[in-house]
Amino acid sequence: MLSCKPSNHSSSSPFNKFPKSFSTIFPSATSAFTTYASISASLMLLRSIFNDLIPYPLRKHIFSAISSLFCFFSGKQTIIIDQFDGIEPNHVFNATELYLSTKVNPNTKRLKVSKRIKDKGLSFKLDKGQRITDSFNGVELKWRHVCYGVEIKGNVTEKRYFMLRFKKNNGDLVMNSYLPFVLKSAEMIENEMRVLKIHTLGNVRYGFKFKWESIKLEHPSTFETLALDPELKTMIIDDINRFIRRKEFYKKVGRSWKRGYLLYGPPGTGKSSLVAAMANYLKFDIYDLQLENIKSDSDLRRLLLDIGNRSILVIEDIDCTVNLPDRGQRRNGQDKQLTLSGLLNFVDGLWSSCGDERIIVLTTNHKHRLDPALLRPGRMDLHIHLSYCGMRAFTVLAANYLGIKGEHRLFGEIEVLLGATKVTPAQVAEELMKDEDVDVAVEGFLSFLKQRKMEEDKLEKDEALKKVEDKESRELKIEHTYLKKDEALKKAEVKESRELKIEHKYLKKDEASKKAEVKESQE
């Protein structure tokens, strides 16, 4: 054992202040650490046994009861704000998350930070388990962000909620003033920070539920730049404006505040660009739904309930994305499947009322392939045919791509050719982008139209010739069929003639034989 002996120096040496032996210190410290380790191990063992023997729902109730008891004696009150209210997203949770993101400070231990490419600044959010203190009218309010995992049939689903604690005597202020203030503040923050997003299905399923993933919508399409006939464009804008301002009218007549549009026409006629223009005009998010990823009606229902208000749900190429069986049919021998009736129930059934100010857009290249039940009014309210490029749409494209605001010397010839050929706006745009010089680009497009006209004329002649050949072939087949019938009839007549001759011969023989018998009898 180490010891400190006094030196020969004067009694004022600082070493005289140390104890004569450290043996009185180290054994007590070792005992303390041993006791702490023993208690920690025991607590961890008890926690493991507790978690193994008591299921999670019961543990949650026990902890809730203990917390309530603690709050009762401590004079505190707690409000829990879950992420979901049943299967529907909780608007209060989303508003709280947005509101608290503006209250973070350097004292917060853990924060989630993000920034998209075109965002002006950083975005902060509370990480799980973190706390933050807010103040309202001199009242202190403590928030905590809680996350935990729940295992259901082998799948782990993340659950989240916010916990708000405050003194009991401030309960009326919190419920009637503070929480409405949080909702209003979140609404104002959202309007200021409004960024249009396009949502699509993630690659991962969380438990039994698909999850939307989003990215900033940066499509530049607007109604001003959209290559549409002016009358059609005006009609669409008027219909959208009428829908937006008639919330009370929809409520009065007992209809869900939604609108359905069917966009149909050849590929490249601007269906996707029209959807983007509608989103930019209305400041609505886009939810792009691929039905081939959905396995059952229940999956579709959960997914559609996660769609926010003021949004556009888009199902592109509805005629070929998935073959929806009708009600009562089975796919792969399973009862739980995605059906046409399940989709229709959300578009126009009871589930269509879960959400306001929504637009549903279906696109197709072949309208005639769709089930008539999907097209009736109330489901697809307005059918918009997007056809090939005409002269009015071309002038919009020429202004957008070449800056031509008025007439051009070649526009007359181009108008004639556009009326005689089938060219989509996408093809026109591609041709106009080939040169930056206006005259060169217009002349190049004119040459393209002439070449296209020649190809279409040749194709038309080939089709006409094929029709004539098909007609002649059908006529030859008919003639050959008649010839075969005539030959068969002649063969039948010859056969019948031979049979009659043989029969006549036998009759003559019988008559001769009878005459011989009569003559012999007379003799």
Long-range contacts of 476-480 (CB under 8 A, 24+ apart): none
pLDDT at 5 over 50: no
**pTM as predicted:** 0.62
Across 9-37, average pLDDT? 54
CATH topology of domain 197-324+337-385: Rossmann fold (3.40.50)
Q: Which residues contact 215 (CB under 8 A, 6 or more apart)?
A: 197, 198
Which candidate, 24, 64, 261, places its Cα nearest to that of 146?
64
More confident of the two residues 29 and 259:
259
pLDDT value, residue 17: 45
pLDDT of 292 higher than 90: no
Q: 217: buried, middle or exposed (CB in 10 Å: 19+, 13-18, 0-12)? A: middle
- pLDDT (0 to 100) of residue 409: 92
- For residue 82, what are the β-bridge partners? 161
Cβ pair 236, 187 in contact under 8 A:
no
- Least confident span in 39-53, 142-156, 320-334, 379-393: 320-334
| For residue 156, pLDDT beyond 80 | no
Residue 113's DSSP bridge partners are 124
The separation between CA 362 and the C-alpha centre of its own chain, rounded to angstroms, equals: 12
Distance CA 29, CA 119 (A): 55
Distance CA 95, CA 103 (A): 13
How much is the mean pLDDT over the chain? Answer: 81
pLDDT at 63 over 90: no
Burial level of 494, CB count in 10 A (0-12/13-18/19+)? exposed
Residue 25 predicted with pLDDT over 80: no
Angle between helices 391-402 and 425-432 (to 10 degrees): 30
**Coil, helix or strand at residue 314:** strand
Q: What is the mean pLDDT of residues 54-64?
A: 62
Confidence (pLDDT) at 27 = 53
Strand, coil or helix: what is 481?
A: helix
Per-residue pLDDT band for 359 (boundaries 50, 70, 90) equals very high
The string of pLDDT tens digits covering residues 254-284 is 888 889 999 999 999 999 999 999 999 999 9
Number of alpha carbons in the 13 Å side-chain half-sphere of residue 445 = 33
Closest CA relative to residue 84, chosen from 207, 243, 225, 2 = 207
> pLDDT per residue over 491-504, tens digit each?
888 888 888 878 77
Name beta bridge partners: 252: none
Instruction: Identify which of 210-219, 433-442, 477-486 has the greatest average pLDDT.
Output: 433-442
Percent of the chain at pLDDT exceeding 90: 33
| Residue 61 confidence (pLDDT) above 80 | no
**Which residues have CB under 8 Å from 360's CB, separation 6+?**
258, 259, 260, 261, 312, 313, 315, 347
Q: Which of 52-56, 72-76, 236-240, 337-341 has the highest mean pLDDT?
A: 236-240
Q: Mean pLDDT check: name the lowest of 37-51, 60-74, 178-192.
A: 60-74
Query: Domain map of the chain by residue range?
Result: 52-193, 197-324+337-385, 391-481
Q: What pLDDT sits at residue 314?
A: 93
Find, among 287, 297, 309, 299, the residue nearest to 354 by Cα. 309
Quick one: how far is CA 195 from the chain centroid? 18
Give the span between the Cα atoms of 124 and 115, in whole angstroms.
9
Taking the C-alpha atoms of residue 503 and residue 510, their distance in angstroms, rounded to an integer, is: 11
Residue 164 contacts residue 151 (beta carbons within 8 Å): no
At 438-452, the pLDDT tens digits run 999 999 999 999 999
Helix axis angle for 411-420 and 391-402, nearest 10°, is 130
What pLDDT does 468 receive? 84
pLDDT for residue 386: 94
DSSP state for residue 21 in the 8-state scheme: B
Check: CB of residue 182 under 8 Å from CB of residue 93.
no
How far is 522 from 35, CA to CA, in rounded Å?
152
423 touches 414 (CB < 8 A) = no
> What tokens were used for 261?
């549009």
Q: Residue 11: is its pLDDT beyond 70?
A: no
Average pLDDT over residues 428-440: 93
Lowest-pLDDT choice from 11-25, 267-281, 454-468: 11-25
pLDDT tens digit sequence for 315-332: 998 887 655 555 444 444
Is 461 a residue whose pLDDT tops 50? Answer: yes
Asked if pLDDT for residue 122 goes beyond 80, the answer is no
